[in-house]
A = this chain, B = another copy of it.
Amino acid sequence: MKDIHAAAKRLRNWGKWGDEDQIGTLNYTRPEDIVAAAGLVRKGKVFSLALDFDDRGPQSGKSNYAAMGRFNPIHLMLRTGTDAYSGVLDHRGIRGADDVIIMPLQGGTQWDGLAHIFYGDQMYNGYDCRLVTSSGAGKNGIEKTKEKMVGRGVLLDVARTHGEKWLPDGYAITNKDLEATEERVGVTVRQGDFLLVRTGQMQAKMTQKSWDGYPGGDAPGLAFETLDWLHRRRVAAVATDTWGVEVRPNATTDANQPWHWVSIPNMGLSVGEIFYLDELAKDCARDQRYEFMFVGPALPVTGAVGAPTNPLAIK
């Protein structure tokens, strides 16, 4: 617990971008970074890093973690092609289908917003956590980021660095792992980057055709020490192919998800989860280019503490 509080203090970015700031490390990405990122588009190839949103999503997996109330998307129709076929829409003068979705905002590929995790009674930039009521987040809502998720993307395929299809559950990715991967592929993570770290866990689950153990379960992921590394490199955001980015079981038993205690509320770091990185990783291994243009804005739901996204890597 002492370590968590020390890191929180050491890495805290409150006030750094003004008292009114609500987007944290997304401020790191400058216009020139976006221009440079666009320059990485050479093949005109687009990779979606999203899982499709449906009832086969990861929330169906069994979990030993305390129930969070998340579920797979429920997709329902307002009008259908069968209605059309049956002739019951013809009085409208047009035959069409329409639909509705019910979904937890963090049930699939998604960004954690800066109102998602609290540190004591506060959230990022020192805002009172009571600003996040049953009516949503009065500050740090995900909609504040709607024009900000664009920049250079860098993939660090740590599993591949280890020569594995996937890292084992419980494996803590260290700063050394990150740097060894940088070196292996000849890329250096720098200010304003969107860092994607591949553990391979998602591929493991897909190979076994079951999400059991994925939501909230044991997983490879970032070690606590990576917080300092990410802070030093000034990344805009970090995302992985796991449910919760950080290694599980967590290194400490004092707190649950200690990395989250520091990253989101103290650093103001946007955290991406359940990113599908396998196709991108294959392509990067093929052409040995691990940098690309990243465009991955969240769906701007007002007052949301997280939101689904269809993030694209464009090479």
Q: Which of A's residues lie within 8 Å of B, judged by CB?
A: 30-35, 37-48, 50, 52-56, 66-71, 73-88, 92-106, 115-121, 123, 128-137, 143, 146-148, 150, 254-257, 260-261, 293, 295, 297-306, 308-310, 312, 314
Contacts and interface: CB of A to CB of B under 8 A. Distances in A.
A86 B83 CA distance: 8
A45 B31 contact: yes
Nearest to A30: B44
B44 A35 contact: yes
Given A48-B147, A85-B85, A87-B130, A310 B297 contact: yes
Contact of A118 (B40, B96, B261, B305): B96
Given A71-B71, A106-B98, A133-B80, A299 B299 contact: yes
A152 to B, nearest CB: 11
A159 to B, nearest CB: 23
B132 A52 contact: no
A37 B42 CA distance: 11
State how many copies of this chain the complex holds.
4
Contacts of A55: 67
B257 A94 contact: yes
Contact of A121 (B41, B54, B84, B136): B84
Contact of A54 (B99, B132, B254, B302): B302
B52 A300 contact: yes
A222 to B, nearest CB: 16
B34 A86 contact: no
A104 B96 contact: no
Contacts of A115: 81, 97
Contacts of A54: 143, 301-303
- Ranked 9 nearest A-B pairs via Cβ: A31-B44, A93-B256, A81-B132, A38-B41, A81-B129, A54-B302, A34-B44, A82-B86, A95-B118
A141 B115 CA distance: 29
Contact of A310 (B30, B119, B134, B298): B298
Given A92-B66, A255-B93, A301 B82 contact: no
A108 to B, nearest CB: 9
Contacts of A133: 77, 79-83, 86, 88
